[in-house]
Chains A and B, each alone.
Chain A
Amino acid sequence: MRIFNYLGMMLILSSVLFSVGCKKDVVAKFEVNDEDVFDASLIKDRPKTNKQAISILHTTIFKKAISSNALFRTERVIESFGDKSLINEVIVSNYMNSPDVVLPSDSLMRADLDQFIKDTYKLFFVRIPSELEVSYFREYLQANPNVTPELVYMAFATSDEYQFY
């Protein structure tokens, strides 16, 4: 009986020792993750088709979808000219001459330049601008009080990035 008591105690003791003695030290390790400072949304490597480009542009400028007939005809006009970027600029400037174009007012733009810039980037490029980009446009618009929202929209609508998604 005594021997069983002895063995039992040994068993309990060894299990306690094992459970405590085998525990690994937890070494706290802190590292900095690799993070891209380049906005991933800038990686737009697929050019819009003429159909996509015109549909999106029309909706952006007029706040309503283009009719299928107008879309078809506009596509034909784009195809009929070799320099797509140039003919796109002519199409946008044609839109800007329309009374139906929807643009923010100059006073609204100048009331909060940072917000206007961010909104414009989101509207045309579907991304948030970097601080560098906000800073450039803020300073440019402050230095050039005659620059209107229309001119800013023209620059965005005829830029290379607007042709990609």
Chain B
Amino acid sequence: MKRREFVKKAALTGVGAAAFPYILPSGRLFARTNAELADHVVYVLFAGGVRHQEAVQQLYLSGSQDLDIGGNIMYNMLNGTAPDRKIVYGITPAGEPDGSSPIPPVLSTSLQSQGLFFPEVTAQNGGHYGGLTSLLTGNRSIAQGLKVRPVAPTIFEYLRRHRGFKASDVWFVGSGIGNSFPLLNSSDHPQYGTAYGANFVAPSVTFGADGVEILSNAKVYHPQEELEPIQRMRAFLNNTFRIKNGDIDGIRNDENERENIKAFIRQTFDKKQTGGLVRPPILDNGDLVTVQYAAEVLKYFKPKILVLNLTNVDGCHSNFTGYLRSLHRADHAVGWLWKFIQNDIPEMAGKTIMLTTPECGRNLNPNPIQDENDWFAYDHSGDFNTRRIFTMMAGPNIPSNLTVGSETNRVGRATDNVLTIAEIFGIKDAVAAAGQMDAEAKSLFDQI
């Protein structure tokens, strides 16, 4: 670079940096195309591979282990009576058999009764990452590789780009850092990408033992006397270096959001130390811990959208009893979270739609592995049963106690959820016009 050119570029950069310190992904390129249906969405990826027989069909052991014992173990979400024999999925009172005491329901009315239920939805992908990608992008994700960000834009990016949400308005709370979960907060799409991604947190790590050691002792700098000089000097250094947006992997919050998130991290560690974290009545597996922290995120940020990923039911690959316990707890988690929003977050109560869908089902036939009860385990390798999932919605502008579709009249696809959320936030047409969705995807509101 010649000196003259350098001086010219440096001057222009200086002026530009003063006028636009950061490129904020908040510009709306499209007007809203329909009225908003709710202020907030909580989208539960009821994931890990939920077998339709133990969930919607409420067959308990009769659909898997050749035992004539049926019943509903998801009674916060679904209508139906619980099994009356061979109870293994609950908690273990002292001196009693393992899992013999079912967790009491947290909702007096099931989510099925409160809202809209699509019992026979078709998953577009039989694997975890592909299935989750479909749920988050509305794309069939056939060409999606593992260990790379989604190819098509995620719902986070659509909402931030077309609806103008800030980074701290959109959160993805993951159950861990395996299976490429941290990559699902944005795509690699050139017109969207990390500039429009969501804040991701995997609480089991961030606030787990590693996080306590590595993050919890962070120094709190005085806002004016210490933090401001740091920010000023850093701004100078960054303006000198001038990386392009997206050169650093991961999303970026602006300075105000950063300080707010740092305060949240500090507060959460303090609450953890003093036992002040909110908690579901039962807190004995990873999914419930994830939900606990998701509730803290909801209470603190009141985000426009929070996506929550559960995974523990995937233990079904080798332990059917453990799978039943995890399924029962996932239902407990979802029921408690819904109740928490309605009772403990006034800014979101009555203004939030919750949408729940598994990313895939599980096989009709078992694998040879037997657990402590001699019950067979189930994989998810792509048979028809693996494609059977369900979707449930509750909240404002959602019809109550309405079931759409049946085993003989399948309605809904996993890829419908993104357009459905886009409709809730008033940008359905803009998202559809982006042309990145499954061609057969439709908003669930259009299928009632």
Chain A residues within CB distance 8 Å of chain B = 34, 36-38, 42, 44, 47, 73-74, 76-77, 79-87, 89-91, 93-94, 96-98, 132-133, 136-137, 140, 144, 146-147, 151-152, 154-156, 158-161, 163-164
Contacts and interface: CB of A to CB of B under 8 A. Distances in A.
A155 B241 CA distance: 13
B225 interface: yes
B20 to A, nearest CB: 16
A81 B6 CA distance: 37
Interface in B231-260: 231-234, 236-238, 240-241, 243, 247-253, 258
A83 B237 contact: no
Given A82-B201, A83-B251, A83-B252, A38 B1 contact: yes
A161 B182 contact: no
Interface residues of B, number: 55
B202 interface: yes
A15 to B, nearest CB: 51
Contacts of B250: 82-85
Given A79-B182, A80-B202, A93-B221, A34 B2 contact: yes
Contacts of A163: 248
Contacts of B214: 73-74, 77, 91, 94
8 contacts: A80-B182, A80-B206, A82-B197, A84-B248, A90-B265, A132-B10, A137-B233, A161-B238
Contacts of A146: 225, 229
Contacts of B3: 37
Given A80-B201, A83-B261, A73 B248 contact: no
B226 interface: yes
A155 B237 contact: yes
B167 interface: yes
Interface in B200-227: 200-202, 204-206, 210-211, 213-221, 225-226
Contact of A86 (B213, B249, B253): B253
Contacts of A144: 229
Contacts of B448: none
Given A90-B265, A146-B225, A85 B218 contact: no
Nearest to B177: A79
Nearest to A37: B3
Contacts of A156: 233, 237
B201 A161 contact: no
Contacts of A80: 177, 182, 200-202, 204-206, 211
Contact of B247 (A37, A47, A87, A154): A47
Contact of A83 (B167, B215, B231): B167
B323 to A, nearest CB: 26
A165 B299 CA distance: 40
Contact of A77 (B210, B233, B248): B210
A91 B237 CA distance: 19
B262 interface: yes
Given A84-B250, A86-B258, A164-B247, 11 more contacts: A47-B248, A47-B249, A77-B206, A82-B172, A91-B214, A93-B218, A133-B240, A155-B230, A159-B237, A161-B240, A164-B243
Contacts of A38: 1, 6
B106 interface: no
A82 to B, nearest CB: 3
Interface in B170-188: 172, 177, 182, 185
B198 interface: yes
Contacts of B221: 93, 151, 154
